[in-house]
Amino acid sequence: MAGEKAAVEAKPLLNLDGVTAGYGNTTVVHDVDLVVPEEKIACLVGPNGSGKSTVMKAIYGFADVFDGRVSFDGDDVTGRSPQASLRSGMAYVLQSSSVFSEMTVHENMLMGGYVFDDDERATRRAEELYDEFSRLADLREQEAGMLSGGERRLLELARGLMVEPRLMLLDEPSIGLEPTYMEQVFDRIESLNELGTTILLVEQNAEKGLSVADRGYVLASGEIQYSGTGTELLEDEEVGRLYLGG
């Protein structure tokens, strides 16, 4: 397939090679091979509890890597701290809501840029993002705790973008959102990608996730069961029957 060929030929920005990971002495995922080509979208789907968030955490440094290797832009980053991941250009938007509810939208945005250690730069970057996220611009003085679920998700995305990441790790960005907000979040993900951000997406809405993905992976019981282009997985009968409710 032409799409597959292009995806394989694009330089990998993130590469997991035989990664076994978990927490303390609990192994959750086994021997995971996964590639996110530069400037593409890869999507990881699979049942609840299969280890999707653990893969994300292993990449970013919130989980322990017991075996295998994580490479980012050609560097071995296995077992690196979350701080180091952030500084190197990865942003991780957590599955659970992570806004500071007592702070305003704008204060949340500035928190996203704290690694700059430069208030002016953070303010400048926030202004750039308000041009793109006009809803957030309107809400900038609003306490984040007062936002709707969809607005909160937009704030989490925008806050992640404060550091101008090369790679965004998005863990279930559409969960719990009404359909209109879900569409907005997916539109945002696609436009971010068009502007050059590489994205690894975990999605419970497998059909939607795979439909925006250049590469797809199905994880079940801690192991990658299927991989291919997003389209290949969507069209695969077995994947459809087992994981897409088709």
Ligand X SMILES: Nc1ncnc2c1ncn2[C@@H]1O[C@H](COP(=O)(O)OP(=O)(O)O)[C@@H](O)[C@H]1O
Contact positions toward ligand X, by CB under 6 A?
23, 26, 28, 46, 48-54
Choose among Mg ion, ligand X, none what residue 51 binds, the Cβ cut-off being 5 to 8 Å by kind.
Answer: ligand X
How buried is residue 47: exposed, middle or buried, by Cβ count under 10 Å (0-12/13-18/19+)? middle
Contact letters for Mg ion, residues 6-45 (x by CB under 5 A): ----------------------------------------
Angle at 90 between CA 89 and CA 95, to 5 degrees: 155
Nearest to ligand X of 20, 142 (CB atom): 20
The answer to whether residue 53 forms part of the interface with Mg ion (CB under 5 A) is yes
Q: Which is nearer to ligand X, 46 or 61 (CB)?
A: 46
- Residue 106 is encoded by which pair of tokens? 């704008």
- Given a contact cutoff of 8 angstroms between Cβ atoms, the answer to whether 33 and 72 are in contact is no
Q: What is the nearest approach in angstroms of ligand X to the Cβ of residue 226?
A: 15
* 202 C-beta neighbours (distance < 10 Å), count: 23
Q: How far is CA 84 from CA 13, 60, 77, 90, 153, in A?
A: 16, 9, 9, 9, 24
Q: Which CB, 53 or 78, lies closer to ligand X? A: 53
Q: Output the smallest distance, CB 53 to Mg ion, in A.
A: 3
Rg (alpha carbons) of the chain, rounded to whole number? 18
Q: Which segment (92-100, 105-113, 127-135, 231-239) binds Mg ion by CB under 5 A?
A: 92-100
Which residues would be at the binding site for Mg ion (CB under 5 A)?
52-53, 95
